[in-house]
Amino acid sequence: MDYRDTVFITVAENFSFSKAAGILNISQPAVTRHIKELEARYNTNLFERKGNKIYLTQAGEKVYSAFKQITDSIVNWSLRLINYIMISAENSKSEPAQRFRSMLFQRSLPLFINDIQTYN
């Protein structure tokens, strides 16, 4: 998955290009450009535009469903990996393992949680 996929998911979940832009902290024209690139990639319209409102097309619903399955799998496997790392570090009494565990809790885990919240 790349950034355009994240933009698509955000637009699809908010039914708004401008809301997605605010959430992702990018400009609304950038959101539009990313969506147009995806529509060109798949050679179909992903959104139906009716005035100020947008709706997922049938193709858009399929793409959204596939992207959500992928992101859910990534999150699931990432959480499993973190759990494995934490158990391994916890079972090890070596100083490097304990420092790694401390670093994971203090630095990496908060960033990871923030990334997960972006996708959900």
Q: Which pLDDT belongs to residue 119? A: 54
pLDDT for position 120: 52
Q: In one letter, which amino acid is 59?
A: A
And the tokens for 28?
A: 């609304």
What are the residues whose beta carbons fall under 8 Å from the beta carbon of 16, sequence distance 6 or more?
Answer: 54
Rounded alpha-carbon distances, angstroms, from residue 38 to 32, 54, 87? 10, 16, 40
Tell me how far the alpha carbon of residue 68 is from its chain's centroid: 9
Q: What domains does the chain contain, in order, with CATH numbers?
A: 3-62 (1.10.10.10), 68-119 (no CATH)
Q: In the chain, what percentage of residues exceed pLDDT 70?
A: 78
Contacts (Cβ under 8 Å, ≥6 apart) of 85: 100, 104
Quick one: which of 30, 29, 27, 31 has its CA closest to 10?
Answer: 31
In the prediction, which pLDDT does 34 show? Answer: 97
How distant, in Å, are the alpha carbons of 3, 96, 118 from that of 23?
A: 13, 38, 8
pTM for the model stands at 0.69
- DSSP E strand boundaries for 44-88: 47-50, 53-56
More confident residue, 59 or 85: 59
Task: Look at residue 73 and tell me whether its pLDDT is greater than 90.
Answer: no
